[in-house]
Amino acid sequence: MINLARQGIRRGLVLLMVVVGLGFAGVASAVFVEEQLDDPALEMRARDIAEGIRCLVCQNQSIMESNADLARDLRLLVRERVATGDTDDEVRAYLVQRFGDWILLNPPFKARTLILWLSPFLLLLFGSLFVVRFLRRKSEGAATLPLTDVEEAELHKIMATDKNKSEAL
Amino acid sequence: MKLSFFAPVLTFAVIAGVMFYALFFLDPTLIPSEFVDRKVPEFSALEPVPGYGPDLSSENLSDGKVVLFNVFASWCVACLIEHPVFMKLKAEGNVEIFGLNYKDTPEAAAKWLAKNGNPYTRTGMDPKGRLGIEFGVYGVPETFIIGPDGTILDKIIGAVTANDLKTRILPRIAGNKK
CB B66 within 8 A of CB B150: no
Q: With an 8 Å Cβ cutoff, is A60 touching chain B?
A: no
Say which of B32, B128, B130 has its CB closest to residue A100. B32
Residue ranges for chain B with pLDDT beneath 70: 1-2, 177-178
Q: What's residue A144's pLDDT?
A: 67
Interface touch B31/A57, C-beta < 8 Å: no
* A97: closest CA of chain B, how far (Å): 7
Q: What's residue A27's pLDDT?
A: 46
Q: Which residue of A has its CA nearest to B41?
A: A98
Q: What's residue B135's pLDDT?
A: 92
Q: Which residue of A has its CA nearest to B133?
A: A98
User: Rounded to an integer, what distance in angstroms lies between the CA atom of residue B127 and that of residue A109?
Assistant: 37
- Please determine, for residue A53, whether its predicted confidence score (pLDDT) is greater than 80: yes
Can you tell me the mean pLDDT for A3-15? 64
* B131: closest CA of chain A, how far (Å): 11
Contacts 24+ apart (CB under 8 A), B28-33: B28/A59, B29/A59, B30/B157, B31/A56, B31/A99, B31/A100, B31/A102, B31/B138, B31/B157, B32/A100, B32/A102, B33/A100, B33/B136, B33/B152, B33/B155, B33/B157
Strands B122-126 and B96-102: parallel
Say which of A77, A100, A102 has its CB closest to residue B133. A77
User: Rounded to an integer, what distance in angstroms lies between the CA atom of residue B79 and that of residue A89?
Assistant: 36
Can you tell me the mean pLDDT for A96-115? 87
Q: What's residue B37's pLDDT?
A: 86
Q: Please report, rounded to a whole number, the percentage of residues in chain B having pLDDT higher than 70.
A: 97
Which chain A residues are closer than 8 Å to B29 by Cβ?
Answer: 59
Annotation: CATH topology of B30-176: Glutaredoxin (3.40.30)
Which chain B residues are closer than 8 Å to A69 by Cβ?
Answer: 103, 129
Return the higher-pLDDT residue of A11 and A118: A118
* B92: closest CA of chain A, how far (Å): 33
User: Rounded to an integer, what distance in angstroms lies between the CA atom of residue B71 and that of residue B68?
Assistant: 10
Interface touch A102/B32, C-beta < 8 Å: yes
Residue A89 banded pLDDT, cuts 50, 70, 90: very high
Strands B152-157 and B142-146: antiparallel
Return the higher-pLDDT residue of A15 and A165: A165
Residue B99's closest CA among B132, B75, B121, B130?
B121
Interface of A with B in 87-106 (CB under 8 A): 96-100, 102
Q: Supply the pTM of this predicted model.
A: 0.72
What is the predicted ipTM? 0.77
* CA distances for B108 relative to A130, B125, B140, B142, angstroms: 66, 12, 16, 19
Q: With an 8 Å Cβ cutoff, is A126 touching chain B?
A: no
Q: Which residue of A has its CA nearest to B31?
A: A102
User: Rounded to an integer, what distance in angstroms lies between the CA atom of residue A53 and that of residue A61?
Assistant: 8
Which chain B residues are closer than 8 Å to A98 by Cβ?
Answer: 34, 133-136
Say which of B103, B134, B139 has its CB closest to residue A98. B134
Exposed / middle / buried, residue B129 (Cβ in 10 Å: 0-12, 13-18, 19+): buried
Across A13-17, A152-156, B32-36, the highest mean pLDDT is recorded for: A152-156
- Please determine, for residue A140, whether its predicted confidence score (pLDDT) is greater than 80: no
Residue A12 banded pLDDT, cuts 50, 70, 90: low
Return the higher-pLDDT residue of A28 and B22: B22
Exposed / middle / buried, residue B92 (Cβ in 10 Å: 0-12, 13-18, 19+): exposed
Would residue B118 be called left, alpha or beta, if left means φ above 0 and alpha means ψ between -120 and 50 degrees? beta
* A151: closest CA of chain B, how far (Å): 26
Q: What's residue A26's pLDDT?
A: 47
Interface touch B31/A70, C-beta < 8 Å: no
Across A140-154, A155-169, B18-32, B57-71, the highest mean pLDDT is recorded for: B57-71
Domain ranges in chain B are 30-176
DSSP string, chain A: -HHHHHHHHHHHHHHHHHHHHHHHHHHHTTTT-----SSHHHHHHHHHHHHTBB-TTTSS-BTTT---HHHHHHHHHHHHHHHTT--HHHHHHHHHHHH-GGGBSS---SGGGHHHHHHHHHHHHHHHHHHHHHHHHHHHHHHHSPPPHHHHHHHHHHHHHHHHHHHH-
User: Rounded to an integer, what distance in angstroms lies between the CA atom of residue B108 and that of residue B120?
Assistant: 16
Phi, psi of B146 (to 5 degrees): -115, 130
Interface touch B138/A56, C-beta < 8 Å: yes
Interface touch B135/A98, C-beta < 8 Å: yes
**For chain A, what is the mean pLDDT?**
81
Least confident segment among A21-25, A38-42, A120-124, B28-32: A21-25
Interface touch A99/B138, C-beta < 8 Å: yes
Q: What's residue A111's pLDDT?
A: 83
